[in-house]
Amino acid sequence: MSTVIKKAVVRLGFKTGEFVVYPSHGVGQITAIEEQEVAGFKLELFVVSFAKDKMTLRVPTAKAASVGLRKLADAESVTKALTTLTGRARVKRTMWSRRAQEYEAKINSGDLVAIAEVVRDLYRSEAQPEQSYSERQLYEAAVDRMTREIAVVDDITETEALKKIEGQLAKSPRRPGKGEVVEAAEGDADSDNDDIQEEAA
């Protein structure tokens, strides 16, 4: 049995109606604070709704801090995240599977600047070789998280927030590093071979 507390209640600095960030899902809104009785114990829960994903989470108020539930980034953090996008991509020379795990951990950390680092590192301009499917997925997930939070913080549409992000990425230095040159050269060689095979066929 659950009792919904309707009035704008404040718990641990969070209140109903407020937008918050849940690390593994991004921006959601606290729609209610409920009390549920579980095995004779009263449990207080934040009801967090993610409208875009059509999903609702119930987070015990006592566990809010340990799961990383946080308030939206402040204007200073948004500025820092947007500035991060203009930096040079830092791509480690490790296997893609390990880098992918690191990128995923940053995206799910809920830290806006860490998410911006993923966007910066995986961004490809039109002049650069295309991303692999898994790179593209991680890039889009990171961009989506950034877009949603900036839109709510700056009170703008997600389209406008995305334009802000793309505008910053356009300023970033796009000279590929040594590792990227090698990858591009290999990719070119592959496409040349494809042409030869097609002509032979």
Domain count, the chain: 2
Domain closes at, from 52, 71, 90: 71
Instruction: Determine, yes or no, domain membership for 198.
Output: no
Contacts 24+ apart (CB under 8 A), 102-111: 103/138, 103/142, 104/138, 106/142, 107/138, 107/141, 107/142, 107/145, 108/23, 108/24, 109/23, 109/68, 110/21, 110/22, 110/23, 110/24, 110/26, 110/68, 110/70
Burial bucket for residue 174 (CB in 10 Å: 0-12, 13-18, 19+): middle
Same domain? For 11 and 48 the reply is: yes
Same domain? For 47 and 81 the reply is: no
Q: Are 43 and 29 in contact (CB under 8 A)?
A: no
Q: State pLDDT tens for residues 49-101.
A: 998 788 999 999 999 989 999 999 999 999 999 999 999 988 888 899 999 99
pLDDT score for 40: 85
Task: Output the average pLDDT for the chain.
Answer: 82
Domain that holds residue 63: 2-71
Q: State pLDDT tens for residues 104-133.
A: 999 999 999 999 999 999 998 776 777 788
The Cα–Cα gap between 153 and 71 comes to 10
Could you identify the residue written with the tokens 């989506």? 144
Is the model's pTM score more than 0.95? no
Same domain? For 21 and 87 the reply is: no
- For residue 180, what is the domain's CATH number? 1.20.58.1290
